[in-house]
Structure formats: structure tokens, C-alpha cells
Structure 1
Amino acid sequence: MEFFEKQFYHNSLGDWGIALLIIIGVIIATKLVIWFIKNVLKKLSAKTKTRLDDLLVEMLEEPIIYIFALGGIWFALKRLVFPPDITDYIDKGFWFVVILATTWFIARLLIALIDEYLAPAVEKSESDLDDQLLPIARKVIKYTIWILGILMALNNVGFNVGAILAGLGIGGLALAMAAKDTVANIFGGVTIFTDKPFVLGDRIKVNGYDGVVQEVGIRSTRIKTLSGTMLTVPNMKFTDGIIENVTMEPSRKVTLNLGLTYDTPEDKIQLAIDILKDIIGKTDGTEEKALVSFNAFGDFSLGILFIYYITKGADILQVQTNVNMQILKRFNENKLEFAFPTQSILATVNKE
């Protein structure tokens, strides 16, 4: 027994051994708590009609495990004798982590409640503004909770939070000057919400990129390009650039330049014009207005300009296919030949 009575750093080896056994016991107990939550609490909450208890159990699972484990370690260390400054560090460190774990739980729970109850209601609403504001509100709530939690934790361990906030206020001006692009992006986001040059789901073209708006954030906007890649555009680009909202176009203009061979008589040219007008009148997804003109004597063809409009909401590619198939079919039926580049070469042969 003398071995256990030997002193090591202000405590006997026996006290160190008991502390170690407590920590091992806490680790085992933590495993049991995890098993209890997964196999008992979750099953019980799943049997209820409401989803609230499921969310509470799921969001509480990880933070409570950390608090339970740290609490056991803290209890084991409190049995030992340390110098006052080390004891003070242990106490403050424990409560610092507990406050952060509590903050983690509150942030997780509020975000889960928003996703479970508020997000479905927003999706069902007719307005697109709330769809854009919800992701921003989630981030603001999350960051606000964490900032308050960290300030409370720092205040609890002895930091002068008032001095920290005052320092942040003075440094805020310098930070704003250094982060002017970030500020510009934030104001760009405000401009998007107020002017509404586009909303979620709109197809837009900006700075040479073409895609569908997926998310509008405080600093940037995410656009899924037609090739499937995700593009992140700083919001300031929308305030000093030109935005083309393809979704808001009333109709899609399609321009075709058709060329007929030079041996086509004038009655056949008129027939071609009449056929093009008739195709537009009989094709679904096109507007009645169409422009057809015999407009050019080209290098190797007689040019016919054909402009028509596809109605909003129609399948643009399919309508174009239908129109082009009808042009090909009816021109062939009426022996209207399309021209292709040709050259006539005159050669002089000297006979001796």
C-alpha cells in the first residue's frame, strides 16, 4: 500500500488511480448513454405523432454526450489537488466548453425547426421573396447564436467582453475599409432583393455565363450553368454589370437564313415564302407573327430571311425541330433546292 501513498504532483498515486478509473468509467458510461439514446429514446420518440421530440433527441444527442464526458473528466480532476491557478483554469475551461456545447445544441435545434416547419411553408407560398430570404435568415440566426454563445463563454472565463466589443467597434471601421469588396457584395445582395432583376429558378446570363439561379446569399449568388457546373458569382457583379433574364423573355426569336439555287424561278421563290408562312401557322408553340423576306442575292444562293417566335413556356428545341423538319419536307416535296457553295472555273486551253 505504500506504493499508492507515494506523492506525485501534489497527489498520491492512489488518488491518481481513482481519477483514472473515474475517467474510464465515464468513457464506458458515455458509450451506454449513446446506446440508450439510439436504441431507446429515438424509438420512443419515433412512436409519437409529432416530429418535435424526434428533433429534440436528434439535436441533443451529440452535445449531451460531450457535456456528459467532459463533466465526468472534470469531476475526476476535481478530486485531485492542484495549485489554485491550475484549478481555476480547469473550472473555467470546463464551463467554457459547456457553454459552447449548449450554444451548439440551441443553434442545431433552431436550424432544424426552421427546416422542418418553416421551410415547407415557404415552399408552398406563391412569393419567391421568402424563398430567397430563408437561406439568409438561417445563416443570420446561426451566426448570431454562435456569437452570443462565444461572448458568454469568454465572459464566464474572465475576459472583459465590453472591452472586446469596444475594440471590435474601433476595428470595425478599419475592417470595413479593408473589406470594401465584401461590403459591396452585401449591398449587391440588398439590391437583388429590392430591384428583383431575377428570382430563384430564373435562367440568366451575366458576364458571359448562362445558367439557372439556385441560391441568393448575402455575399454571393449560386448559378447552375447549362453544363451542370455550379457557379458562385459575387453580388457586386450584378450591380455594375448587365444581366439578361432569359426566363422573363416574352418569346424566343429564331432567325433562319435559307438559300435557294440561282436557277429557282420567281414563282418558286414566292412558293417558298408561302410555305414558310403556312408552317408557322400550323406548328404548335409558335406565335402567329412571322417575317419572311426574299432579301439577298448571295454569292451562290438566293437568300430568304425567315424570322419566327416561339411562345413562352414551349419546348424551344422541340419547336425548332418541328419547324425545321417541316421546311425540309415541304421544300423537297415542291423541288425547292437548297444552295451550297459552288465555284465556276473557266480555263483557256492553248492549241499549238
Structure 2
Amino acid sequence: MEKSMQGGFFTKTFYGNTVGDWLVALLIIVAAVILGKVLYWFLKNVVSKFTASTKTKLDNIILDMVEEPVVFAIIIAGIWYGLKTLALSEGFEIWVTKIYYILIFINIGWLLTRLFDSLVENYVVPIAEKSKTDLDDQVLPIVRKGIKLVIWVVAIIVGLNNAGYDVAALLAGLGIGGLVFALAAQDTVANLFGGFTVFADKPFKLNDRVKINGFDGTIKEIGIRSTRLVTLEGRMVTIPNKIFTGTPTENVSSEPKRKVSLNLGLTYDMGVTEIELAMKILRDIAEKNENIEGDPLVGFNQFGDFALNVLFIYYIKKGAGILDTQTEVNMEILKQFNENKLEFAFPSQTIFTKSI
């Protein structure tokens, strides 16, 4: 009696398949997932130890990049095979097969882009970093992204083709919405042309400090569509390349030297001798500092409201620490002015009273 009840349950039909058929399909899918997990563990914990002991790191890279795509391939193959064991409608079977082929080739594209990206990162980037020119540092990210894009496009096209779609007809159909696409892609096209302009004119290069559109920072990546810089506050900013074609860009790093201008106000108690001494001290400080280039400009330039102003202009050499040099100069000014009793003025007001 119990056997007949069990047999009756497994022979019940749902959507054209018995409960037993559904369970078999489910077991196949679960087995594929388990197999994928076991294979991933085996590759991660057993095979990786073997590759780590070899002299080359190429096998480590390949293993690390193929682990997840291989597991994903096993899982989707298990799902596809499990569903194929069922008696499904012809339309649903065709739909499942198409999805399967598309996923397979997307997975292949994922594998190839991961492998390509890792090989470039481990072998090509170090060579580019060691080269003297900055051109390869700028071009490499664009070539890298371009090749990855080509891989993805080819994988999707091949996947659609194997799924039974007429790719040529799909591409031809894009012409119908070409106008709409062109209007929607105006900014993208403008950014692409902006990228070409940046590469042609070279207003800056990697690691240059620039000021543009209210941002002040260091260029970290020059792409075909956008450029990234890190601001002085440490924030990453992505700027569309079209901005560079219509906005003045100040390349701070291209300056041959940094001009520093100081207006030092001395009290009105200071006489001619003290003013001359102050100017001599400033000239000596500039001449003795190795980071200052050329002759400084020093002069008594103004009778201020509450101070006698001495103008001090000097130029910091390119490559020298800007803030460090300014600190050294300012500390030396403060030290020598104090030693020679040259007093700095501060906003003050003298009131004279007259008795009537």
C-alpha cells in the first residue's frame, strides 16, 4: 500500500512531467552546483599550492582567472542539461537553448577579458612604468579598455549568432533608430573628440597638477571618454573630456618655477636704517636657500595705513618642495627679524586727544 502511494506520488504529472522527472532535473542542477563548488575548492586549495611552487607566475595568473568562469560554465551547463531532461514545450526549449548559448559565450568573454586584464597588469604595466616616456602610460589604459570592449562585442555577437539570431539583421535594424541614437550619444561623441584633442594637444600628462572647472588636483588617468584626477583633498573626480575642449585648463606642473610674493609690514617706529636692514636680510635669506632660483625682488613699496610695507618676491625651483621651501624662508625671516628687533606691524589705531 505504501509503495503504491509513493509510486503514485512520483508519477503525478505537473506541466507535462512527472514528479520523478522534476526531481531528476533538480538533482542534476544541484549536482552541477555542488560539482562547481567542489571544483572551485580544489582549484583554490590544491592546484594553487602546486602552481605557487613553480618559478613562473603565469600559471598562477591563469589559474586565478579561470576558476570562477569554469565554475559558472559547469553550473549553467548543469541547469541546461537538467531542463533538457524534461518534456517541455518546443518554444520553451528553444528559449532555454538560446539563453544557454548566449550565457556560454558571455562566460567565454568574461574569461578572456579577465585573463587579458591580468596579463596586462602583471607583464605590460610594469614595463610601461619603467619606460622614460609618459606616452605608453597614457595610451595603455585606452588600448586595454578597447581590446576588452572588442572581446565583449565579439563574444556577444557570436553568442547571439549561435543562439539563432540573425546578427546582420539586428545590426541593420540599428539604422532605423540611428537618428535617435545619435541624439542620445551627442555627449559621448563630444567626449570622444575631447579625448582625441587631449592626446593631440597634450595640455597635460599623467601626474601633472592641473586646475580646471573649479577642480585642483593631480591627473591619475587619461581615458578616451573621461579623465580622472585626485583633488588636493584626496577625492577622485571624473571629468568628461569635452570639458577640456571648451574650458581653460591651467597646468600647474608646467610652470618653470613658483613665484612667491610676501608683503611684510613693519611698524612706523622703524627708520631708514631698519628698513634697509630688513631688505638686506631678505636678500641674504633668498641667496642662501638652495631651492630659490634667481635674484629676489626686494623693495620698500608702500606706506600702509598701519605699516611700512616691504615687498619680497622670490622664485622656488621646479621640483623643489613648495611648502617646505616657504616654511624654511618664513621661519628664517621670523628668526632674523626678531634677532634684529625688526617689529611686524598689526592693525592698530592711534587716537590723539586735544583739550579745549
Give the TM-score, by structure 1 length.
0.92
What CA deviation, in whole Å up to 9, does each residue of 1:111-165 have, x standing for no partner? 1111121111111111111111222222212222111111121222222211211
Report the counterpart of residue 272 of structure 2 in structure 1.
Answer: 266
Alpha-carbon distance in structure 1 between the residues aligned to 2:334 and 2:19:
96
What CA deviation, in whole Å up to 9, does each residue of 1:283-331 have, x standing for no partner? 2211231111111122222221111111111122221122122222222
Distance 1:13 1:281, change over 3 A: closer
**Conservation of the 8 A alpha-carbon contact between 1:129 and 1:193:** no
Unaligned runs of at least 5 residues, structure 1: none
Shift of 1:26: 2.6
Of 30, 34, 45, 1:28 maps to: 34
Alpha-carbon distance in structure 2 between the residues aligned to 1:47 and 1:14:
48
Report the counterpart of residue 241 of structure 1 in structure 2.
Answer: 247
Of 146, 163, 166, 1:160 maps to: 166
Shift of 1:251: 1.0
Distance 1:322 1:21, change over 3 A: closer
Alpha-carbon distance in structure 2 between the residues aligned to 1:317 and 1:276:
18
**Structure 1 residue 343 corresponds to structure 2 residue 332:** no
Alpha-carbon distance in structure 2 between the residues aligned to 1:8 and 1:339:
96
Identical aligned pairs, as a percentage? 53
- One-letter amino acid matched to 1:9: Y
Give the TM-score, by structure 2 length.
0.91
**Structure 1 residue 325 corresponds to structure 2 residue 327:** no
Report the counterpart of residue 230 of structure 2 in structure 1.
Answer: 224
**Structure 1 residue 128 corresponds to structure 2 residue 134:** yes
Alpha-carbon distance in structure 2 between the residues aligned to 1:341 and 1:32:
78
Of 260, 282, 285, 1:279 maps to: 285
Report the counterpart of residue 108 of structure 1 in structure 2.
Answer: 114
What CA deviation, in whole Å up to 9, does each residue of 1:89-131 have, x standing for no partner? 2322222221221121112111111112111111111111111
Shift of 1:173: 4.4
- One-letter amino acid matched to 1:142: K
Alpha-carbon distance in structure 1 between the residues aligned to 2:58 and 2:214:
46
- One-letter amino acid matched to 2:193: F
- One-letter amino acid matched to 2:154: L
SS of the equivalent of 2:253 reads: coil
Report the counterpart of residue 92 of structure 1 in structure 2.
Answer: 98
Unaligned runs of at least 5 residues, structure 2: none
SS of the equivalent of 1:66 reads: helix
Matches within 5 A, 1:15-54: 15-54=21-60
SS of the equivalent of 2:174 reads: helix
SS of the equivalent of 1:14 reads: helix
- One-letter amino acid matched to 2:74: F
**Structure 1 residue 139 corresponds to structure 2 residue 145:** yes
Distance 1:306 1:31, change over 3 A: closer
Report the counterpart of residue 189 of structure 2 in structure 1.
Answer: 183
Shift of 1:204: 0.9
SS of the equivalent of 1:81 reads: coil
Distance 1:149 1:299, change over 3 A: same
Alpha-carbon distance in structure 1 between the residues aligned to 2:244 and 2:182:
21
What CA deviation, in whole Å up to 9, does each residue of 1:214-250 have, x standing for no partner? 1111221111111111112121121111111111111
**Conservation of the 8 A alpha-carbon contact between 2:33 and 2:74:** no
Report the counterpart of residue 10 of structure 1 in structure 2.
Answer: 16
- Of stretches 280-289 and 340-349 in structure 1, the one that deviates more from structure 2 is 340-349
- Of stretches 141-150 and 89-98 in structure 1, the one that deviates more from structure 2 is 89-98
**Conservation of the 8 A alpha-carbon contact between 1:284 and 1:319:** no
Shift of 1:170: 4.7
SS of the equivalent of 2:177 reads: helix
Shift of 1:201: 0.5
- One-letter amino acid matched to 1:232: T
Alpha-carbon distance in structure 2 between the residues aligned to 1:170 and 1:7:
47
- One-letter amino acid matched to 1:16: W
- Of stretches 193-202 and 130-139 in structure 1, the one that deviates more from structure 2 is 130-139
SS of the equivalent of 1:256 reads: strand
Distance 1:233 1:93, change over 3 A: closer
Alpha-carbon distance in structure 1 between the residues aligned to 2:123 and 2:165:
38
- One-letter amino acid matched to 1:157: A
- Of stretches 281-290 and 162-171 in structure 1, the one that deviates more from structure 2 is 162-171
SS of the equivalent of 1:247 reads: helix
Alpha-carbon distance in structure 1 between the residues aligned to 2:64 and 2:205:
34
Shift of 1:257: 0.9
Distance 1:270 1:98, change over 3 A: same
Alpha-carbon distance in structure 2 between the residues aligned to 1:260 and 1:233:
46
SS of the equivalent of 2:24 reads: helix
- One-letter amino acid matched to 1:283: N
Alpha-carbon distance in structure 1 between the residues aligned to 2:12 and 2:308:
109
Alpha-carbon distance in structure 2 between the residues aligned to 1:312 and 1:206:
21
| RMSD over aligned Cα atoms | 2.0
